[in-house]
A and B are shown apart, each in its own frame.
Chain A
């Protein structure tokens, strides 16, 4: 089962970092991701993009988590040579995580 069965996501850029919001589809799903979707697990999922550090925040009022992957965009913005210089695909990539 992939993360997309139990959550929605949205990602965006912040300089050379990116954030990924993960929103559980139900409160029960939020309790599960709160316990199991750790910063380490998310960072490992993106190891090929070499994030320097991963910050994790909880938004219990919205059944959501927010991850900030520091440095995951490499150079970021105009300097980046990647097709996804602004991290718009990271949300979709995270939802492919096998649970």
Chain B
């Protein structure tokens, strides 16, 4: 019987601990693969802004530092850090001295296809049509297949753009065990494994309801799975790391960001969670079985974004009684002062979170946001007594990216794999 395949995750999102991959590989040197997830909804919009300024950019530059930090190891790396420019990232890696075989998966960028026929791509949430909005990005969630092809071509590092997060884990399983793309029962198990580890420490004690009970949280370990040839697996973490893996951490992460648990959709399979069984097999080791799989949908999910003006937010601590009343009054003051400067803010939101007053504004006009950001500090001398917590200067004004989820027919999308 083959030894189980060991796949770890060392990044749950762009902003996670930069030293995690090196630490994971040091604590668990026998890992076969490490996945790193860089792309949340807005990440591609941020990369679009970077690429506008410099066409050579549009990827997660910090991935290069992660690769540089790793000890010499046969462990393969699979990541979506390529963002909008996976070839750019591969080139930059080479230029930084990386001698590993690099596979680049592209073809997720479907902006031109959607722009050619915008009426065919209505919003999945609201049913609205695009109606003249100018899209900044549009990327289809590719599946495991192109990653498997890259691995077959000998890639030791696979760089993709937008890919379904669990597919980063499913691909090495298919490649290693020689599953066919129609082995939906096995792929279902690997998809569940990918879903569990894609958010890193969220399955090893992070954001646990009982978080105060998590041991050694400063050293919380990143997770890895031991995948068997039939799609069942054990989820665990390095022995020397902190945190915990138990039925509670695993069940909470199973339910994270899911809709109908009988139809978890991925480009690789439609998975049912309703027969999953969790069994404790030793300390911090949970055996997961029972995933059921069917064919995936004929469409791929697309996440598209469009520029929609600017936003800014400011916070102040209102120490003393009647904070809600004071917060409301401060909000009215700021709104009317910005209006007096000539800008009735298109969107304005005031929150009172305990003693914290938080105001956020959005508008298509940059000068409107500039006026808003200037009206927060004056509350320190004209606002309620006990107002404090104003340290960091005028808040930054950031671009707003509207989110446009839609579906695209699989046969319109052509993934490409280049290995060098």
Contacts and interface: CB of A to CB of B under 8 A. Distances in A.
A78 B313 contact: no
B270 interface: no
B251 A64 contact: yes
Interface in B293-337: 305, 308, 311, 313
A33 interface: no
Which 3 A-B residue pairings sit nearest by Cβ, starting from the closest?
A21-B255, A81-B349, A81-B360
A12 B251 contact: no
Interface in B87-124: 124
Given A19-B255, A77-B42, A8 B207 contact: no
A1 interface: no
B351 interface: yes
Interface in A58-99: 59-62, 64, 66, 68, 71, 76-79, 81-83, 88, 91, 95
A10 interface: yes
A62 B41 CA distance: 29
Contact of B210 (A8, A17, A71, A76): A8
B353 A21 contact: no
Interface residues of B, number: 48
Given A62-B276, A64-B251, 8 more contacts: A8-B248, A14-B257, A14-B259, A19-B259, A57-B261, A61-B274, A68-B259, A77-B403
A82 B351 CA distance: 8
Contact of A81 (B42, B248, B258, B311): B311
Nearest to B259: A68
Interface string B241-261: 000000010011111111111
B138 to A, nearest CB: 15
Contact of B41 (A17, A68, A78, A81): A78
A43 interface: no
A79 B124 CA distance: 17
B188 to A, nearest CB: 14
B347 A81 contact: yes
Interface string A7-49: 0111011111101010100000000000000000000000000
B52 interface: no
A83 B351 contact: yes
B125 A19 contact: no
Contacts of B252: 8-10, 21, 23
Contacts of B190: none
Interface in B134-177: none
Nearest to B405: A15
Nearest to B398: A78
A15 B42 contact: no
A12 B256 contact: yes
A57 B274 CA distance: 10
Contact of B125 (A17, A21, A60): A17
A81 B256 CA distance: 23
A81 B313 contact: yes
Contact of B403 (A21, A61, A76): A76
Given A23-B252, A61-B277, A95 B258 contact: no
20 contacts: A8-B209, A9-B252, A12-B256, A13-B257, A15-B403, A16-B125, A19-B256, A19-B258, A21-B255, A23-B251, A23-B252, A57-B261, A61-B273, A62-B278, A77-B403, A81-B347, A81-B349, A82-B360, A88-B207, A91-B209
A46 to B, nearest CB: 16
Contacts of A88: 207
Contacts of A21: 251-252, 254-256, 258
Contact of A79 (B251, B257, B276, B400): B400
A58 to B, nearest CB: 8
B256 A77 contact: no
Contacts of B42: 77-78
A70 to B, nearest CB: 8
B253 A10 contact: yes
